Amino acid sequence: MDEHTPPGEKRDVPTVTCSRCDREWDLEYELGELCAGNAALEQFALDHRRHTGHFPDEVSPWQATCRQCPDREAFLRERPARRWAETHARHTSHDVALRDPEGAETVVEPGGS
């Protein structure tokens, strides 16, 4: 008999809320698919954004906003955000503002390395 995992023990399922949707979810579905806490929240955030157009409350995204056209994107990590800003600048010659989760903004300019 394995006594280390007693049946019926309450699992600690993280929850996530979204004030725009005025809803709360548990991440049991994501945890079941991914088996990892941080990845589950990240997956939820990406799915939520894909289907609703915004991130849930707990998530502070990186935001890349073009200064010269309506194009903008939000990302959970710096790397894809910076890549989006750099490729947008590269292909369109637009300046792109890149805002980190704390709100500090840098500008990615076309032709910068």
What are the CA-CA distances from residue 92 to residues 65, 71, 84, 88, 111 (Å)? 13, 11, 12, 6, 11
Q: Give the range of 11-19, 36-44, 72-80, 105-113 binding Zn ion by CB under 5 A.
A: 11-19
The residue (of 94 and 99) whose beta carbon lies closer to Zn ion is 94
**Residue 76 binds to Zn ion (criterion: CB under 5 A):** no
SS3 label, residue 20? coil
The DSSP string of 61-80 is -EEEEESSSS-EEEESSHHH
- How far apart CA 97 and CA 36 sit, in angstroms, is 32
∠ CA(44), CA(97), CA(55), 5° rounding?
15
The residue (of 3 and 22) whose beta carbon lies closer to Zn ion is 22
Q: Judged by CB under 5 A, which of 15, 17, 52, 106 binds Zn ion? A: 52
The residue (of 19 and 113) whose beta carbon lies closer to Zn ion is 19
**Residue 72 binds to Zn ion (criterion: CB under 5 A):** no
> What is the x/- site pattern for Zn ion, positions 94-113, by CB under 5 A?
x-------------------
What phi and psi, each to the nearest 5 degrees, are found at residue 27?
-100, 25
Residues that bind Zn ion (CB under 5 A): 18, 20-21, 52, 66, 68-69, 71, 92, 94
